[in-house]
């Protein structure tokens, strides 16, 4: 019987792990998407879209489907889902591993302002009208409606109505190229960038482009997450699952 794994997705690491497990008949993986994008790329394994209904729903899913491992590969800012994963794993005794890469750190030449949340990011823009590149996700746009004087260029996977009078949405999916990012900022006459500290290679080109152009970056720091065993990439997560699978065979005497 295949070893059942539930992957809470949202990052490239989660997709890469799912793609590797799809090639291994010893595993039966399901990749769960939060449902915040309309364009779901086929991960090569069965997948589901949408929430579970909080901790009780996730617990019920883990028990009903008899999952033997839970992987939290959500975005570093998906703090509620990560917290639910920790609690559900404790209640079900299903082994949990979080896959989370390191945060970005400023280097020489960067002009970063660190803030704790979107409200402080909006305040950091100031009152003077500016041309702003927003790379924060559609769910966080609401904080900037209190500062409608700025010209916003918002990048998101899907097009949507930001409900901001001076905003445009650029629908695009990473990875992004450094030269293209620099050309975009120059063409749009961007004056400041607002970004969440995702730490992903797929979206780091904007920071290099900002450094080259001397643009200030308002960086929203990651939220606090409850403690969990954590690895930085999908490779050690795959090794962890292999070890769990071997241990399960030994318990069954196979």
Domains of the chain: 3-102+224-252 (3.40.50.720), 112-220 (3.40.50.720)
**pLDDT value, residue 19:** 94
Which is more confident, 116 or 12?
116
Would the pLDDT of 35 be above 70?
no
pLDDT average, residue stretch 102-131? 96
Distance CA 181, CA 203 (A): 10
For the chain, what is the HEC assignment? CCEEEEEECCCHHHHHHHHHHHCCCCEEEEEEECCCCCCCCCCCCCEEECCCCHHHHHHHHHHHHCCCEEEECCCCCCHHHHHHHHHHHHHHCCCEEEECCCCCCCCCCCCEEEECCHHHHHHHCCCCCCEEEEECCHHHHHHHHHCCCCEEEEEECCCCCCCCCCEEEEECCCCCCHHHHHHHHHHCCCCEEEEECCCCHHHCHHHHHHHHHCCCEEEECCCCCCCCCEECCHHHHHHHHHHHHHHHHHHHCC
Would the pLDDT of 64 be above 90?
yes
Question: Considering the chain, what is the average pLDDT of its residues?
Answer: 93
Would the pLDDT of 127 be above 90?
yes
pLDDT average, residue stretch 222-227? 93
Beta carbons of 135 and 121 less than 8 angstroms apart: no
**pLDDT value, residue 11:** 86
Identify the band that residue 201 occupies on the pLDDT scale cut at 50, 70 and 90: confident
Would the pLDDT of 253 be above 80?
no
Would the pLDDT of 215 be above 80?
yes
**pLDDT value, residue 39:** 60
User: Would you call 163 exposed, middle or buried from its count of C-beta atoms within 10 A (0-12, 13-18, 19+)?
Assistant: exposed
pLDDT average, residue stretch 222-233? 94
Which is more confident, 60 or 140?
60
Would the pLDDT of 94 be above 70?
yes
State pTM to two decimals: 0.88
**pLDDT value, residue 36:** 61
């Amino acid at each position: 019987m295949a070893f059942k794994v539930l992957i809470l997705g949202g990052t490239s690491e989660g997709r890469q792990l799912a793609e590797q497990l799809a090639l291994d008949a010893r595993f039966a993986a399901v990749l769960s998407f939060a449902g915040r994008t309309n364009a779901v790329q086929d991960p090569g394994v069965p997948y589901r879209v949408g929430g579970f209904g909080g901790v009780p729903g996730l617990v019920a899913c883990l028990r009903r489907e008899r999952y033997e491992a839970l992987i939290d590969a959500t975005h570093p800012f998906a703090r509620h889902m990560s917290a639910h994963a920790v609690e559900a794993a404790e209640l079900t005794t299903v082994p949990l591993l979080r896959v989370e890469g390191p945060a970005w750190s400023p280097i020489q030449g960067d002009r970063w302002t660190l803030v704790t949340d979107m409200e402080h990011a909006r305040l950091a823009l100031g009152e003077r009208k500016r041309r702003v590149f927003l790379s924060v996700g559609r769910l966080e746009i609401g904080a900037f409606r209190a500062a409608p004087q700025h010209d916003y260029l918002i990048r998101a996977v899907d097009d949507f109505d930001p409900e901001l009078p001076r905003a445009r949405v650029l629908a695009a999916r990473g990875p992004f190229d450094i030269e293209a990012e620099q050309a975009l900022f120059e063409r749009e006459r961007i004056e400041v960038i607002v970004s969440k500290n995702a730490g992903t290679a797929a979206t780091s080109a904007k920071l290099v482009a900002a450094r080259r152009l001397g643009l200030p970056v308002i960086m929203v720091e990651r939220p606090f997450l409850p403690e969990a065993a954590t690895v930085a990439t999908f490779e050690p997560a795959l090794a962890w699952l292999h070890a769990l699978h071997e241990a399960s065979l030994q318990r069954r005497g196979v």
